[in-house]
Amino acid sequence: PHVTSKERFILADWIGDVCRTDECCSRDTIHLAVNLMDRVFEKRPTKVSEADLLSKACLLVASKYHDIDAFTPSHLVNSTNIGGISKLLEYEVQVLEILDYHLNAVTATQFSSFFTKFAKDSRLHILMDFFSDVSLLGEEFLRYDPSTVARACTLLASSLSFKTEDHLLAFIADSSEMMNEVIECAAEIFHRIFELRVTQNTPVGVGSYRATSLKAIPKIYERELMGLIFRLESQRYLPVDG
């Protein structure tokens, strides 16, 4: 069987979890790794049995692309598992060949960084980073342009800001059609957050990764947000007409 949306969710969550435990891993690395993984899955139908190593290979490539102190194969595979390291390096070459060495990609986090520069609330970037990282977990966001995802994150973050951020609306949309798409994307991010509140009782996993609670990416922001996001009770925080 090929990788399903749930298995993709687990792999993206694993990438976030690995990067969360390594201070040298940047958010650009997380987003690029998931982007590479999605592009590989799109170009070549991937079986579950090889998805684990392919996702690790994507993270390895992304880290080399963005990080000064990049991951090594032994970071991602048990250093005593010589065969596993060799296999990972083979998959790294496969990733590069499948993508024809086209590694650079525009991601939502790059747009979010730009929007953050104009925020009044210095904490706004924490919310925007959180929302953009959550969007990595759902394949439903693949149909949106990265700029649309970033605009949706800006809309949500400014709605929850402790200061008035109405001036940011000028960056979000220049037409009603665009605003409708942004609001639709923002609503999907909200729904994904609510799903993350549910703890999985039955262990699930792909390859060597197992989890009973698939919330690795939100944990990155758990301390900063102080539970704010997970206490949201409805979509009333979303600005609506009228």
Confidence of residue 233 (pLDDT cuts 50, 70, 90): very low
Q: What is d(CA 239, CA 223) in angstroms, rounded to the nearest whole number?
A: 26
Q: pLDDT tens for residues 170-196?
A: 777 777 888 889 999 998 998 887 777
The 10s digit of each residue's pLDDT in 24-34 is: 788 899 999 99
Between residues 221 and 234, which one has the greater pLDDT?
221
**CA–CA separation, 84 vs 76, rounded Å?**
10
Look at residue 103 in the predicted model and tell me its pLDDT.
93
For the chain, domains (ranges, CATH) are: 5-98 (1.10.472.10), 108-237 (1.10.472.10)
Specify the length of the chain in residues: 242
Phi and psi torsions of 206, nearest 5°: -130, 130
Q: What is the dihedral of CA 20, 26, 30, 31, to 10 degrees?
A: 140
**Per-residue confidence (pLDDT) for residue 219, from 0 to 100:** 66
Kind and range of the H or E run holding 116: helix 108-116
Min mean pLDDT across 4-13, 17-26, 68-77 is at: 17-26
Considering only 60-74, 109-123, 138-152, which range has the smallest mean pLDDT? Answer: 109-123
- Report the distance separating Cα 147 and Cα 67, nearest Å: 23
Comparing CA positions, the residue from 50, 7, 8 lying closest to residue 33 is: 8
Q: In this structure, what token pair is assigned to residue 17?
A: 């979890």
C-beta of residue 217 within 8 angstroms of C-beta of residue 132: no
Residues 6+ apart with CB under 8 A from 171: 115, 118, 151, 154
Q: Is the pLDDT of residue 10 over 50?
A: yes
Q: Return the pLDDT at 198.
A: 52
The arithmetic mean of pLDDT across residues 214-238, rounded, is 53
pLDDT given at position 142? 95
Tokens of 77: 């595979």
pLDDT score recorded for residue 206:
53
Separation CA 200–CA 182 (nearest Å): 30
Contacts of 176 (CB under 8 A, 6+ apart): none
Q: 152 is written with which tokens?
A: 């949706």
Provide the pLDDT for residue 22: 78
